[in-house]
Amino acid sequence: MFKRYGIFAVLSALAIALDQWTKALAYNILRVNGPVVLIDGVFELLYSENRGAAFGILQGRQTFFFLVAFAVVAVVLLFLAKLPAEKRYLPLFVCMVLLASGAVGNLIDRVSRGFVVDFFYFSLIDFPIFNVADCYVVTAAGLLILLTGFVYREDELSFLKKKERDE
């Protein structure tokens, strides 16, 4: 059990470090020098300060975001405690690393800056600006949907159900 949490901590720390490094680059370079067009009319790196949630909703609700981030991490840790230590469940483990890393990465921004640094922008479709931590969360959510819908059978996920007492 402790080995699993150790691996989880190391992988999460690396993912969070990557997220924070990219945000520092955006803050120090894009904020000062302006956007970098990677594919003209399609994709660019554009500095943005997000004081809300995804797509800019819930502006200025910092306490709410702190509580959500702590809840996500708590649920992930509880999930890891129940997750079987078999290779078959490695994709679920990776999803938990991504979910926690995304939540913590954006939480660090909210605590240290008062906003989340976003910088990926698909100008072709005017998609909301996002960051690496957001990519982690969306990827994890998508994978969880695919895994629970198409990969794992219901009985393989029975570890999530409360065990009934034999009386």
Burial label for 50, CB within 10 Å (0-12, 13-18, 19+), is: buried
Nearest Cα residue to 19 out of 7, 27, 29, 30: 27
Clarify whether 19 is annotated catalytic.
no
Q: With contact defined as beta carbons under 8 Å apart, do 69 and 111 qualify? A: no
Q: With contact defined as beta carbons under 8 Å apart, do 4 and 94 qualify? A: no
Overall residue count recorded for the chain in this entry: 167
* C-alpha span between 92 and 159 (Å, rounded): 13
Catalytic-role residue among 19, 109, 118, 155: 118
Q: With contact defined as beta carbons under 8 Å apart, do 120 and 129 qualify? A: yes
Q: Which residues pair with 49 in a beta bridge?
A: 117
Supply the residues annotated as catalytic.
118, 134
